[in-house]
Structure 1
Amino acid sequence: MRDLHRIPFLCLGLAALMLACCGELRERADLVFVNSAEVETLDPALVTDQVSMRVSEALFEGLCRGTADGKAEPGCAERWEVSEDKKRYTFHLRAGLKWSNGEALTAHDFVRSWQRVLTPATASDYASQLYPLLNAKAFHEGTISDFAQVGVKALDDRTLETTLENPIPYWIDLTAFLTLAPVHVPTVEKFGGGWIKPDSIVTNGPYRIKDWRIDDFIRLTRSPDYWDRANVGMEVVDVLPISDANTALNYFMTEQADLLMDKGMLHPSIIPKLKEQPYFHTGPFLGTWFIRFNVTKAPFTDARVRQALALSVDKKRIVEKITQLGENTAFSLVPPGAGKDYQPPTGLDFDPKRARELLAEAGFPGGKGFPRIEYLHLPQTIERNIAVELQAMWRENLGITVNLVKQEQKIWLASMRELSFDMCRSSWVGDYNDPNTFIEMFTTGNGNNRTGWTNSRYDELIPAAMREADIGRRHAIFNEAEKLLVSTDPPIIPVYHYVGVQFYRENLEGVRANMIDNHPFRAMRWKKK
Structure 2
Amino acid sequence: MKKRLSLLFSLMLVLSVFLAACGGFNKKESAGEKTGGEKKANVPQELRVNINTEPFSLHPGLANDSTSGTVLRQTFEGLTVIKDGKPELAAAEEYKVSDDLKTYTFKLRDAKWTNGDPVTAQDFEYAWKWALDPKNQSQYAYQLYYIKNGQAFNEGKAKAEDVGVKALDDKTLQVTLENPTPYFLELTAFYTYYPVNSKIAQKNPNWYKNAGPDYTSNGPFKMVTWEHNNKIVLEKNETYWDAKNVKLTKITMSMVNDPNTELSMFNNGELDWAGSPTGTLPTDALPQLKQEGKLHVQPIAGTYWLKFNTEKAPFNNVNIRKALTYAIDRKAIVENITKGEQVPAMAAVPPTMFPENKEGYFKDNDVEKAKEYLKKGLEELGLKDVKQLPPITYSFNTSEAHAKIAQAIQDMWKKNLGIEVKLENAEWNVYIDKLHSGDYQVGRMGWLGDFNDPINFLELFRDKKGGNNDTNWENPKYKQLLIDSQKEKDPEKRKQMLKDAEAILMDELPVAPIYFYTNTWVQKDNLKGVEVSGLGDVQFRWAYFE
TM-score, with length taken from structure 2: 0.88
Counterpart of 1:442?
A: 461
Write the deviation string for residues 148-176 of structure 1: whole angstroms up to 9, x where unpaired.
32221122211111111111221000000
* Aligned equivalent of 1:188, options 186, 190, 201: 201
* Aligned equivalent of 1:151, options 144, 161, 164: 164
For the structure 1 residues 474 and 414, does the alpha-carbon distance in structure 2 shift closer, same or farther, using more than 3 Å as the test? same
> Is residue 403 from structure 1 mapped to residue 427 from structure 2 by the alignment?
no
Describe how 1:230-269 pairs up with structure 2 within 5 A: 230-262=244-276, 265-269=280-284
Verify the 8 A CA contact 2:275 2:281 in the aligned structure 1.
Answer: no
Counterpart of 2:93?
A: 78
Verify the 8 A CA contact 1:35 1:261 in the aligned structure 2.
Answer: no
Letter in 1 for 2:203: K
Tell me the CA shift for residue 417 of structure 1.
0.6
Tell me the CA shift for residue 77 of structure 1.
0.1
Could you tell which deviates more after superposition, 347-356 or 493-502? 347-356
Describe how 1:142-181 pairs up with structure 2 within 5 A: 142-145=156-159, 147-181=160-194
* Aligned equivalent of 2:320, options 305, 312, 336: 305
CA RMSD of the aligned region, Å? 1.7
Counterpart of 1:62?
A: 78
Describe how 1:26-37 pairs up with structure 2 within 5 A: 30-37=46-53
- Unpaired segments ≥5 residues, structure 2: 1-43
1-structure distance, mates of 2:306, 2:129: 33
> Is residue 428 from structure 1 mapped to residue 443 from structure 2 by the alignment?
no
> Is residue 112 from structure 1 mapped to residue 112 from structure 2 by the alignment?
no
Verify the 8 A CA contact 1:356 1:366 in the aligned structure 2.
Answer: no
Counterpart of 1:510?
A: 529
Tell me the CA shift for residue 142 of structure 1.
1.2
> Is residue 497 from structure 1 mapped to residue 516 from structure 2 by the alignment?
yes
1-structure distance, mates of 2:282, 2:163: 49
Counterpart of 2:497?
A: 477
Secondary structure at the residue paired with 2:415? helix
For the structure 1 residues 343 and 84, does the alpha-carbon distance in structure 2 shift closer, same or farther, using more than 3 Å as the test? farther
Letter in 2 for 1:93: L
2-structure distance, mates of 1:281, 1:66: 21
Tell me the CA shift for residue 211 of structure 1.
0.9
Tell me the CA shift for residue 185 of structure 1.
2.3
1-structure distance, mates of 2:78, 2:286: 38
2-structure distance, mates of 1:328, 1:433: 19
Letter in 1 for 2:466: N
Letter in 2 for 1:245: P
Counterpart of 1:13?
A: none
Tell me the CA shift for residue 196 of structure 1.
3.3
Verify the 8 A CA contact 1:221 1:237 in the aligned structure 2.
Answer: yes
Verify the 8 A CA contact 1:508 1:525 in the aligned structure 2.
Answer: yes
> Is residue 316 from structure 1 mapped to residue 331 from structure 2 by the alignment?
yes
What fraction of aligned residue pairs are identical, expressed as a percent? 35
For the structure 1 residues 502 and 194, does the alpha-carbon distance in structure 2 shift closer, same or farther, using more than 3 Å as the test? same
* Aligned equivalent of 2:483, options 463, 469, 473: 463
> Is residue 453 from structure 1 mapped to residue 469 from structure 2 by the alignment?
no
TM-score, with length taken from structure 1: 0.90
Tell me the CA shift for residue 342 of structure 1.
6.8
2-structure distance, mates of 1:367, 1:353: 16
Tell me the CA shift for residue 266 of structure 1.
2.5
Letter in 1 for 2:74: A
2-structure distance, mates of 1:245, 1:347: 34
Secondary structure at the residue paired with 1:453? coil
Counterpart of 2:145?
A: 131
Verify the 8 A CA contact 2:200 2:207 in the aligned structure 1.
Answer: no
Write the deviation string for residues 470-514 of structure 1: whole angstroms up to 9, x where unpaired.
11111111111111212x211000110011122212210112543
Write the deviation string for residues 399-419 of structure 1: whole angstroms up to 9, x where unpaired.
111011111111111111111
Write the deviation string for residues 220-272 of structure 1: whole angstroms up to 9, x where unpaired.
11111100101112111100011101100000000101112327722232221
Write the deviation string for residues 173-227 of structure 1: whole angstroms up to 9, x where unpaired.
0000000000012322322235431122111111111111112211111111100
Could you tell which deviates more after superposition, 99-108 or 168-177? 99-108
2-structure distance, mates of 1:368, 1:30: 57
Counterpart of 1:4?
A: none
Verify the 8 A CA contact 2:231 2:252 in the aligned structure 1.
Answer: yes
Counterpart of 2:3?
A: none
2-structure distance, mates of 1:169, 1:344: 25
Letter in 2 for 1:437: N
Higher relative CO (CA 8 A, sep ≥ 6), structure 1 or 2? 2
> Is residue 281 from structure 1 mapped to residue 300 from structure 2 by the alignment?
no
* Aligned equivalent of 1:42, options 42, 58, 81: 58
Counterpart of 2:431?
A: 412
Counterpart of 1:526?
A: 545
1-structure distance, mates of 2:422, 2:348: 25
Secondary structure at the residue paired with 2:524? coil
Write the deviation string for residues 108-154 of structure 1: whole angstroms up to 9, x where unpaired.
11111111011001111111111111111111111112x23222112
Verify the 8 A CA contact 2:531 2:540 in the aligned structure 1.
Answer: no
- Unpaired segments ≥5 residues, structure 1: 1-27
2-structure distance, mates of 1:217, 1:227: 27
Counterpart of 1:24?
A: none
2-structure distance, mates of 1:225, 1:369: 64
Tell me the CA shift for residue 297 of structure 1.
0.5
Secondary structure at the residue paired with 2:486? helix
Verify the 8 A CA contact 1:366 1:399 in the aligned structure 2.
Answer: no
Tell me the CA shift for residue 437 of structure 1.
0.8
Letter in 1 for 2:201: V
Letter in 1 for 2:495: H
Describe how 1:344-383 pairs up with structure 2 within 5 A: 346-349=360-363, 350-363=365-378, 364=383, 366-383=385-402
1-structure distance, mates of 2:101, 2:120: 24
Tell me the CA shift for residue 325 of structure 1.
2.0
Letter in 1 for 2:520: V
> Is residue 212 from structure 1 mapped to residue 221 from structure 2 by the alignment?
no
2-structure distance, mates of 1:281, 1:271: 10
Secondary structure at the residue paired with 2:129? helix
Structure 1 ranges of 4+ moved more than 4 A: 341-345
Counterpart of 1:19?
A: none
Q: How many residues are paired up?
A: 495
* Aligned equivalent of 2:238, options 224, 243, 249: 224
Letter in 2 for 1:152: V
1-structure distance, mates of 2:418, 2:124: 55
Verify the 8 A CA contact 2:281 2:520 in the aligned structure 1.
Answer: no
Verify the 8 A CA contact 2:281 2:521 in the aligned structure 1.
Answer: no
> Is residue 99 from structure 1 mapped to residue 86 from structure 2 by the alignment?
no
Letter in 2 for 1:132: Y
2-structure distance, mates of 1:217, 1:514: 24
